[in-house]
Amino acid sequence: MRGSITSETIKQIRKNKTALFGLFLVVMLVFVGVFAPWVAPYDPYDADLDISLHPPSYQHWLGTDEEGRDVLSRIIYGARISLKVGIIASSISLLIGAILGLIAGFFRGWTETIIMRFTDVMFGFPALLFMIGITAAVPRPSIEVAMLAIGLVSWPGMARIMRAQVLTIIEQEYVTAARSLGYSQIRIIMRHVLPNSLAPVIVAFTMSIAGAVMAEASLSFIGLGAQPPEPSWGSMIAFGRMHLRGEWWISVFPGLAVAVMVIGFNLFGEGLRDALDPTMRGRGNN
């Protein structure tokens, strides 16, 4: 039965042009990131002061930065950092959110009240400021700390979705049947609840990658994420700030890269949602 859901999902996505466009962007960026050493025309760390601040040209399509490094190559390598942070940070928040949501929805009662109140509290913090607070609490900022901070702050949405999903599933007949057969709680959770609640979680995961990519760029822009000379898009934009009078290419192109990645994951996530949830079909992308 699971197989038919998957093929139905693929069929739905293939019909959805916007989702396909998102998928195309994601696949392209993953390809560029994974094969960066072959795709990038230059070494992203290779400084050459003779060609410092050159505008876009035939040799350097997107120009060079202050130290004469090729902006295009740095953007290509930057895709690796953004993807890594996006996927790992979202996995952290998925893990925390899904487990808490599952426990809350399955066990109900006081456990649920405490978990959901905690979720409300976490929702109460403006996310970026909270992430800044965490990264500031650590002696030395790094991309790993930023990743952890993003994951630790972004889970409440996931927890709410998971709980709502579990609440509807445990009302289903097959769960009641499993219970009356005397199966253990663990077995019911692993065999019935978890597999059937995955769809919206996968959608939320895809979209949270977009959020994490944006958050990483923001933290790195402030200086609390990737450290120089790492080619993170956020810190590239921050360095480009010094050259806004003439050398616009240093900051404009990395920002465009962030936007493209965010658009890719969001559009693909929206497409997945429409494909997985029949009631949403046809809305929002007409």
Partner 1 sequence: MLQYILNRFAQLVPVILGIILLTFILMYIVPGDPVLSMVGERYEEETLERLREQFHLNDALYKQFGHYLWGLLHGDLGVSFISQKPVTEMIMERFPATMLLATGAMFVSILLGISVGVVSAIKPHSWLDRTTMGIALLGVSAPVFWVGLLMVIGARAVGWPYLTGYGCLPYLILPAITLGTRSAAFLARVTRANMLEVLSQDYVRTAKAKGLSNFIVVVKHALKNTLIPVITIIGVDFGSYLSGAVLTESIFNWPGIGRLALNAILKRDFPVIQGVVLVTALIFVTANFIVDILYGVIDPRIRLGSKK
Residues near partner 1 (CB under 8 A): 117-118, 120-122, 124-130, 132-134, 136-139, 210, 214, 217-218, 221-224, 234, 237, 240-241, 244-245, 248, 251-252, 255, 258-260, 262-263, 266, 283-284, 286
Of 51 and 263, nearer to partner 1 (C-beta) is 263
The 8-class DSSP code of residue 46 comes to: -
Q: Give CA torsion, residues 282, 257, 199, 2, to 10 deg.
A: 90
Of 28 and 260, nearer to partner 1 (C-beta) is 260
Of 278 and 284, nearer to partner 1 (C-beta) is 284
CB of residue 62 to partner 1, shortest distance in Å: 15
CB of residue 276 to partner 1, shortest distance in Å: 19
Backbone angles phi, psi at 64, to 5 degrees: -125, 160
CB of residue 141 to partner 1, shortest distance in Å: 10
Of 169 and 257, nearer to partner 1 (C-beta) is 257
CB of residue 197 to partner 1, shortest distance in Å: 25
Place of tokens 């890719």: 264
Residue 47 identity (one-letter amino acid): A
CB of residue 260 to partner 1, shortest distance in Å: 8
Of 72 and 193, nearer to partner 1 (C-beta) is 72
Sign of CA dihedral 20, 22, 25, 27: negative
- d(C-alpha 10, C-alpha 127), whole Å: 33
Backbone angles phi, psi at 70, to 5 degrees: -75, 120
Enumerate residues 6+ apart whose C-beta is below 8 A from 21. 267
